[in-house]
Amino acid sequence: MKYVIGNWKMHTTVPEAVALAGKIEDGLHDQVQGGQTLPTVVLCPPFVSLTALSDVVDGRVIQFGAQNMHWEPSGPFTGEISSKMLKDLVRYVIIGHSERRLMGETDEQIAQKVAAAYQADLCPILCVGEAKPTDQAAGHVEDELREGLAAIDPKSVERLIVAYEPIWAVGTGSPADEKHIGEVISYLKEILAGLGVKSADVVYGGGITKQSVKHVLTVPGVDGLLVGGASLNDQEFLSIVGEVARQYGT
C-alpha cells in the first residue's frame, strides 16, 4: 500500500494544524527510526494552514495536498483558490470529494479541475463513490470516473490517484465490507487500464479508524487509504500509518 492521505476537512486553526502536523511528524520519525518503511503520507489541511505547515514540516515524511481548487489560474472568482496559488505548497489535490459534490460541484467542473491540476503539475486525487449501499456501485463509480477524466487524454496521464469513497460509509467509522471494496476497486482498475492511464493508484476512504483499518488492509488491490475523521487525532492516524507500514513496508 503506497499512500495514507489525511483529509482534515474544515477542522483546525493554523496553530492547531501546526501542532497536529508536528505530532504526526514526530511519530513518523519514530516509526522510521524503529525500522519501518513508511507509505507516502499526504496531509490535506485547510488552505489557510498550508503556508505555515510547509515552512515547518519535514517534507521527507509528510507531503501536502489541497482539499479542492478552482480550474482557472486566476480571475473574478471570489473565495476560490487556484492551482497557481497551490503549486508551490502542495503536490496533490483532492478533487470531487462527495462533500463538495453535495454542495453542487458538477462532473464538468470536476473534469476541468482535473485538467487544471495536471497543467500545474499536481497529482489529482479524484473521488468517486455511490450514495447508498443499495445503489449499483460499479455503474455509478464508472460514470464518475469517466466524467472526471473527460477533459484530459487519459493516455497522457503519468500519475493519477482515484479515491473510492462509498458516501454511505464516510464519517461512520465503519468501512464498506471487504468484498465490496475489493470488487469496486478491481472494477475501477479495469476501467483505468482500458482508458490507457499509465500509472493509476486506487485508494479507499470512508470509515477508516485504527480498528477498522485492519479489515481494509486484507483487501487485495487497495493502493492506499483516504482518512477523514481519524486523521485529526495524531495517535489514531499514526496507528493507521503504522498498520499500513507493518503490512506493506519492506
Interface residue with ligand PGA, options 7, 12, 31, 112 (CB under 6 A): 7
Would you say 67 or 154 has its CB closer to ligand PGA?
67
Of the residues 99, 147, 165, 243, only one is catalytic, namely 165
Would you say 149 or 230 has its CB closer to ligand PGA?
230
Q: Which of 238, 159, 213 is nearest to 1 (CA)?
A: 213
Amino acid at 194: G
The answer to whether the CB of 110 falls within 8 A of the CB of 126 is yes
Residue 219 makes contact with ligand PGA by CB under 6 A? no
Is the torsion defined by CA of 107, 108, 109, 113 positive or negative?
positive
Residue 144 makes contact with ligand PGA by CB under 6 A? no
Task: Compute how many residues bind ligand PGA; rule: CB under 6 A.
Answer: 13
Would you say 154 or 229 has its CB closer to ligand PGA?
229
- Establish whether 25 is a catalytic residue: no
- Establish whether 147 is a catalytic residue: no
Interface residue with ligand PGA, options 114, 208, 241, 245 (CB under 6 A): 208
Amino acid at 48: V
CA distance 98 to 8: 14
Of the residues 25, 97, 99, 140, only one is catalytic, namely 97
Q: How deeply is 158 buried, as exposed, middle or buried, from its count of CB atoms within 10 A (0-12, 13-18, 19+)?
A: exposed
Q: Write the interaction track for ligand PGA spanning residues 32-61; mark x where CB under 6 A is met and - where it is not.
A: ------------------------------
Cα diameter, the chain: 50
Q: Which residues are catalytic?
A: 97, 165
